[in-house]
Every structure is written in C-alpha cells, then in structure tokens.
Amino acid sequence: MNYSFNEARPALEVFHTGDSVYAYNLLGAHLVNWNGRNGCVFRVWAPTARSVSVAGEFNNWDNNATYMYDIGYGVWEVFVEGVEEFCAYKYCIESEYGDRLMKADPYAFHAQTRPGQASLVYDIENYSWNDGEWLNKRKENNISSSPMNIYEIHAGSWRKYPDGNFFNYQKLADELIPYLKEMHYTHIQLMPIMEYPYDGSWGYQATGYYAPTSRFGTPSDFMTFVDRLHCEGIGVILDWVPSNFPVDDFGLAKFDGSPLYESNDPKTSKRDSWGTCLFNYARFEVTSFLVSCAMFWLDKYHIDGLRIGALSSMLYLDYGKSEGEWEPNKFGGKENLDAVDFVKRLNTAVHMYHPDVMMFAEENTSWPKLTHKIEDGGLGFDFKWNMGWMNDMLHYMSLNSMWRPFNHDSLTFSFYYAFSEKFLLPISHDEVSHGKGALIKQMPGKYDEQFAGVRAFITYMYAHPGKKLVFMGTEIGQFDEWNFNEAIQWDLLEFEKHKKLRTFFKELNKFYLDCKPLYELDAVWKGFDWIHHDDYTNSVIAFKRTDKNGDEIVSVCNFQPIRRDEYCIGVPKFGLYDEVFNSDEERFGGSGVVNGKNIKTESMKIHGFDQGLSLTLPPLSVIYLRCTKELEPDEVQK
C-alpha cells in the first residue's frame, strides 16, 4: 500500500499515537505512480529537524537539491520523479543546532552491503509466494502439542565457499534444506538477518530493521529462501532485537540531532557495557516503529516466529547497571513499566493479526507469567527460553563425575518448575561462544567420554519437557568454539566418532518426531511423572513422559561413566518392555551396552510401584523404554 498525501493523514495520526502496525507502508521509500508520473515518495520521521533533504544517485548526492516538506507529526515527505529500484539514497537532516547529518532510512527495505551505508529503493511487492499449503497447515497446527526441534544457524558461517566467501540466500537454501530434512529438524532459527554494519556483532546491532542483510542477496532472494523452506515443511524463526541499537553515525542514534529513538535521559538512553543505545518505549512513534517492524517480517516474509533476545535488559531498569546509574519507576520498583507496556502491545498485535505465529522470550530471570495471557496478568509470549535449565545442566555436565553427586539438585531442579511457563530448552550460540568452548569441549573426561557426555546430555534433553533448540556444529562434535568468521568444520565427518555422533543426532531427532509422549503434553504436569530422583550417589534419575492417549516413554539417565548391572527401577505397568532408544549404541559411537527387547517386569515394591525392571545401565548414558505388552502379574512370573 502506498499512501497519497491525503491518505497519509490518518496513518500519520495512528503512527503518532503508537498504535500503528503498518508504519512501513507510510514511512520509508515507496515506488509509486502519482498523477501519471513514475517515481518514489520518501517519508521520514524527524520532528526536531530544521530541514530535511534526500540525497542520492538520482541527484548526484546533492544535499541541497531535493528538500522535503513537513506534513505533520514530525514527518517529512517528497516525491521524486524518475527514481527507480536499487537507487541509493540517504537523508540529510539539519538539526535544531544547524548540524547536517547523513542518515540511512530507518524504514528502508534494502541497504548497501557494508562498508556501504546508504539505503536502497526496493519494491518488495513483486514476489509471488508458493507456500500457501504451509501457511494453511500452520493455521491448523497446535504448536504447543506438536514437536518442535530447532536448528539454530548463523547464515554467514554455516557453510562457506573454499575462498571464505559467504553463500548467498540461494546457495544456502540449496545446501541447507536437504541437510535439515535428512537430520529431521522441524524449524531453523536464524541469528539476526536484519542489516548490520559490523560482522562481529553477529547481527545483534542492527541499522536496517526492515532490510534483510544484503551480504547474501536481495530482499526477494531472502523471500525465496523462506519460501523454499516452507515448501519443504520447515519453519523459519528469526532473532529480532527491539532492545538496543548501535551508535553508528548513519543509524538511529540521535537521528534528527536529538535523542529520538532513544531517551534524552542518560540513565535510560544507553547501555555502556554494550556500547549501544536503548529504545525509548515511552515514545509512541518508537512503539509504532518496533511493532510495525515485527509485523513487517510476518507480513512480507511469512516468518513463523520471532525470538526476542535480551528481554531482561528491557524489563529491568537496573539491568547491567550499578547503583546511581538508574532511577526507580514511579512505584519505587526496578521494572521498566514502559517496556512492559510495549511488550504487551507487541504480543497483542502479533497474535491479533497472526495467531499462528510464535513469539519467543529469552529472559534470564524469574519474571512471572511470560507465557501467560495478557488478560491473566502475563506478557503474552508463546514460549520462554529456559535459561535456568540451561545454566544448571551445563554446570552439571561440565563437572568431573566425582562431583556430580554433590550437585544432584542441578540435575533435578528444573523439573519442579517445568510447567510454570511454556518452555523451550536452548543450547544456543551463546553456550558455544564467549570463551565457553564447544559443547563437547565442556564435557569432562577423555575423548570417548566427551562424546558419551554429549549423547547422554542430548538424549536426556529430548526427554525433558519443553521444545528443543541446538546450535549448528553441535551435531558433529566440533571441538573448537564457534567462530563467526569461519565455517563449521564439516571435514570432521571424515572421522568415525564425529560421523557416528551426527548419526546419533539424526536418529534421535527422528525418534523425537515419531514419539508423542516426548512432546504432546510438554506444558502440563499430566505429561510427566517422576519415577526415581533421589539416587544422587549414583547420579541416576528416571521419569516417564505421557501423551494424550496415555502412551508412555520411560527415561533412565545414568550420569556416571560406570556401567550398572541389575539396577532396578519401578515402572507403571506389568508386562514386557522394549528398550527403544539407547545413547550408548555402537552405531552412535558408544560401548554397545544394551538391554534389548521383551524385558519382563518383576514383582517388587519400588518407587511407589508394585513392579519394576532390572536393567543394565550403560556408562554415561540415557535409555528410553516402552511397554509393548501389558500382562497380568501372574503371567509375568511364568
């Protein structure tokens, strides 16, 4: 939609009140035909500017050639005849102090590749989508009771050409889609794809909130990438950063010469530890900018979910700040009330227009009711990243086995709050960077034991309530910490252990998708029961997962590198049990200690049951068991 001058007036008012969800139709650069003349209408919000002009290739970058008109509410406009797609431009903004600032368009749909800083005129309305079947299926699907196994990637370093150059969106799709299907992932999550100037920020300091990065191609190329994934049954989740933005002189910082997208209060306008500015959620036009941005990726790129990173830094006024660097809210608390209101507006808008889209919160405190409905006092997210689980388990798994008995609570605590929110269990890029080392490198012991540790941990993770996310490279056992400048070390698959580890991930992913007890009742107590949780001396736990039909999977976890023979656990049914998955199988690189099929229960009073199983627990392993045939107690004794 391109607004004429008269049509823009109502849209301006909605933008000004903070209620706009389509501000990108009003602001930015739009190719139009006005009164028979082809060209481009430019609009930008710069309320304290003395004057604004647009300079670009069409006027030889003359700052004085094309001045814009103030059309109200701080928005400036000009129509320029003859401007065509891919034309580079910037706004020259004269501040109230007389300075002239060259700024990229906050609403630009395309941008030059760094080190270029200019915006590019682009028509995003010409792409013909082919993913109607996927979108219809998405509307019908209840994601809460469906499997979700996410593969997180950094587009610039999943694979690269031998000379170190990036894959473009087309080549990335060519290589990535067959791999995702082979490995049985349901979704990908892309680290920020919005345009950003500094590679070392990994995309978390964006300057083009409405522009997919041109490092890998055009906006239409990115649409094709998403479209192809959808046509192959794979969802796409994006990292999105509404918390902070960089201070680059061509970006949002002091956009019209004064604090605009940020606050004018130094205590709320910046985060010194990150070297960035913080969005001013108290300003309605900023709310319109951000909410419309989220809607833009859902509307124009058919994105299936947005993950809000660093949510805690938004919700708390004192986050990362020392005494004297922040002021309490009007009630004397540390909660950022404007940010809370923004989050509610955001999730309300998204779920109003796209009820089948997922909103994820990365929040590392115990802020209550993140995934509860707003009308019930919640913030309206669909899933919360379970950072507590992640921190506890990585701490536990990194311990020498002799210290695990003294840290048993790290293993069991997460189950006691597992249903307070709708959780996702993340082993993300943050857990394999910042000097932490790759996941396998965090495992104690010698070479074989490190692989066994990864297999046991991941098999336990897939049985734990919550959706799943694993960062690229984890599945092949890359020992080196992730480096955004280098591709994943795929040549490791020439070595047997690494190849078998990938086979393990492939088979576990497939088992997860086929096993309803592991996902169908993820968010309610009905889907989980303890069997055995207090054998801290042996570092063993056992629990069962249940689906809506009452079918069960029993998970037994041994976190010591010691084989345990005749280890007894209680089970809910008399009968025959099969071992349906074992992280220690030889084909996965394990020692091959297995229990097999048709394991008979025995009469015993144990763990609150009248029957149990005598098992062999492989060293450092997790096994899954399923009752394949129920019997009467006297039949079992025969």
- Kindly report the number of other CB atoms within 10 A of residue 76's CB atom: 25
Considering 285, 362, 431, 585, which one is annotated as catalytic?
362
b/e string for 592-617 if b means 16 or more Cβ within 10 A?
ebbbeeebbbbeeebbebebbbebbb
CA distance 530 to 33: 66
Q: Is 96 a catalytic residue?
A: no
Q: Which residue is it, tokens 């139709």?
A: 25
Secondary structure element (H or E) that encloses residue 135, with its range: helix 132-140
In this prediction the pTM is: 0.95
- Which residues fall within 8 angstroms of residue 556, CB to CB, at 6 or more apart? 540, 541, 542, 569, 615, 617, 622, 623, 625
Low-confidence stretches of the chain (pLDDT beneath 70): 1-7, 634-638
Which tokens belong to 596?
């097999």
Q: What is the pLDDT of residue 260?
A: 96
**Contact yes or no for 205/167 (Cβ under 8 A):** no
**Contact yes or no for 132/230 (Cβ under 8 A):** no
Alpha-carbon dihedral of residues 387, 238, 280, 252, nearest 10 degrees? 130
pLDDT, tens digit (0-9, with 9 covering 90-100), for 505-564: 999 999 999 999 999 999 999 999 999 999 999 999 999 999 999 999 999 999 999 999
- From the list 473, 458, 466, the residue with the least C-alpha distance to 621 is 458
Q: Domains along the chain?
A: 5-120 (2.60.40.10), 146-518 (3.20.20.80), 526-636 (2.60.40.1180)
Sheet holding 270-271, edge to edge: 244-246, 276-278, 270-271
CA distance 229 to 432: 26
Q: What is the pLDDT of residue 633?
A: 72
CA distance 631 to 66: 85
**Contact yes or no for 308/240 (Cβ under 8 A):** yes
Q: What is the pLDDT of residue 3?
A: 56
Q: What is the pLDDT of residue 266?
A: 85
**Contact yes or no for 552/572 (Cβ under 8 A):** yes
Q: CA–CA distance from 173 to each of 153, 162, 165, 177, 540 (Å)?
A: 12, 18, 16, 6, 42
